[in-house]
A = this chain, B = another copy of it.
């Protein structure tokens, strides 16, 4: 189990570091990630890591970027703006659920939702095709991004499941929330 990824390449690379770190975070959470444990996992001196990564914060940043790069290829479909909005929300969701522990950490930081990121731009485009006045597009986009983000944050940390006592709590809660938001937008076009 330990001493992974050390067979062919004796050189330590940033990619290997990120991969091992993501592994720890995915299985044991962000709190379980320490430079020392990560080094142990890589079979390397703890200080070697600092030659490829500035510090622990930068490492976590790199992890977040690695995982959210999947957002660069979002297809929103050709349906109505309601369907496009729903698709976008579900894209955001599956991206978040793929690495729950990391995303839970990322939401706590203050720069997770990126202005002018691919997701943001798509969202604004959809709102424009919905017929929202240009002066309201950005503000509404920000609010929607933040609301869906918060929604996913509570799904990922288990709050949603706790509040709704049912089996399909997360799916049902997310679907209801998205529908509610779409209705809210519809009232403003």
Q: Say whether A14 faces chain B, with CB atoms less than 8 Å apart.
A: no
Cα separation A187 to B187 with both chains bound (whole Å):
9
Q: Which of A65-73, A74-82, A83-91, A103-111 contacts B (4 or more CB under 8 A)?
A: A103-111
Can you list, as one digit per residue, whether each of A170-183 has a CB less than 8 Å from chain B (1) or not (0)? 00110011011111
Q: Is A184 an interface residue (CB 8 A)?
A: yes
Number of interface residues, chain A, beta carbon within 8 A: 43
In the complex, A98 has a CB within 8 A of chain B: no
**A122 contacts partner chain B, Cβ-Cβ < 8 Å:** no
Q: A150-B146, A180-B188, A187-B187 are in contact. Are A173 and B112 (CB under 8 A)?
A: no
Closest Cβ of chain B to A103, distance in Å, is 12
A-B CB contact pairs (8 Å), 5 listed: A113-B163, A139-B164, A140-B180, A146-B160, A181-B181
